[in-house]
């Protein structure tokens, strides 16, 4: 289940597509084939032209996105008149919120991909392209800013990435995978390390150089279509070959290490996870 009311506030059409893509991606990251979605739409008063426009745009975004990804909407619910004050007043409605749950099926649930890593010396990769997309991010929220445009979503690339993640799980090419979502790469690495208490040493120089980013952008951008994966050294060649064959961008960013917490060169180091 995924939702981001900040992105939907900035652009309800794009924000709804983002929630759809994130839910679809999360199922595939676990190793299941996405089959369908359900939604929960929470918006302001339909008597308020702004809120009604947000509602209509979000529905249009979900419809267009489902067409591209090839998933039906099996059901859902709508809640309107959510807000405070009189319709038409500034910020009288809640942030428009499109909640999307995705359903998938495992060929073998025993091969479900963990969301964190357990062993030392495994390779950390970030799949997908990172752009300087901080608008609507957690980084911006901490700074007290909400403005600009949400991240771009490439639904065709999301579909290919999902197929690759399911294949990686099926073929035993990865030991862990985690979506890069709220909080960006920094949050994904920290949460993956916390899952089983095994840390990571990370260097983002190659990612910054490839995508033309500052270190802060590389750490906290919330660009879509990205996954943090952990690859055993014995499978690195096969894994890299699969990505190259499917045209999925990837950059190695570090190695798992139980002797540290999270050490991101040039940024911060946290001990005692």
**What angle, rounded to 10 degrees, do the helices at 155-171 and 49-69 form?**
50
* Chain centroid to CA 258: 26
219, 184 Cβ separation under 8 angstroms: yes
pLDDT band at 16 (very low <50, low <70, confident <90, very high): very high
- Assign domain 5-111 one CATH number from 3.30.1330.10, 3.40.50.300, 3.30.450.20, 3.40.50.20: 3.30.1330.10
> pLDDT tens digits, residue range 153-172?
999 999 999 999 999 999 99
pTM, entire model: 0.96
Which whole number is the average pLDDT over 104-122? 97
> pLDDT tens digits, residue range 43-88?
999 999 999 999 999 999 999 999 999 999 999 999 999 997 666 6
Domain 123-270, classified CATH 3.30.365.10, yes or no: no
- The pLDDT of residue 84 is 78
> pLDDT tens digits, residue range 202-252?
999 999 999 999 999 999 999 999 999 999 999 999 999 999 999 999 999
Core vs surface per residue 20-40: b (16+ CB within 10 A) or e:
bbbbbbbbbbbbbbbeebbbe
As a whole number of angstroms, the distance between CA 98 and CA 53 comes to 14
Where in the chain are the domains?
A: 5-111, 123-270
As a whole number of angstroms, the distance between CA 80 and CA 70 comes to 28
As a whole number of angstroms, the distance between CA 131 and CA 211 comes to 7
């Amino acid at each position: 289940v995924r939702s981001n009311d900040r992105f939907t506030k900035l652009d309800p059409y794009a924000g709804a597509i983002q929630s759809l893509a994130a839910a679809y991606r999360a199922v595939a990251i676990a190793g299941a084939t996405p089959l369908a979605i359900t939604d929960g739409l929470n918006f302001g008063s339909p008597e308020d032209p702004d809120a009604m426009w947000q509602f209509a745009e979000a529905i249009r975004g979900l419809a267009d996105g489902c067409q591209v990804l090839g998933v039906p909407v099996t059901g859902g619910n709508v809640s309107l008149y959510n807000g405070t004050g009189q319709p038409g007043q500034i910020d009288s409605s809640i942030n428009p919120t499109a909640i999307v749950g995705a359903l998938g099926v495992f060929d073998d649930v025993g091969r479900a991909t963990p969301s964190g890593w357990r062993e030392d010396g495994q390779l950390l990769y970030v799949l997908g392209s990172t752009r300087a997309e901080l608008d609507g991010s957690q980084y911006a929220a901490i700074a007290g800013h909400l403005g600009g445009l949400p991240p771009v979503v490439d639904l065709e690339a999301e579909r290919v990435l999902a197929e690759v993640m399911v294949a990686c799980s099926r073929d035993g090419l990865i030991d862990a995978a985690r979506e890069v979502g709220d909080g960006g790469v920094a949050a994904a690495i920290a949460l993956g390390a916390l899952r089983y208490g095994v840390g990571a040493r990370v260097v983002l120089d190659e990612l910054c150089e490839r995508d033309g980013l500052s270190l802060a952008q590389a750490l906290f951008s919330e660009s879509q279509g990205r996954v943090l994966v952990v690859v055993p050294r014995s499978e690195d060649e096969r894994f890299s070959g699969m990505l190259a064959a499917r045209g999925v961008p990837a950059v190695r960013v570090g190695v798992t290490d139980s002797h540290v917490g999270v050490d991101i060169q040039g940024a911060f180091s946290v001990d005692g996870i």
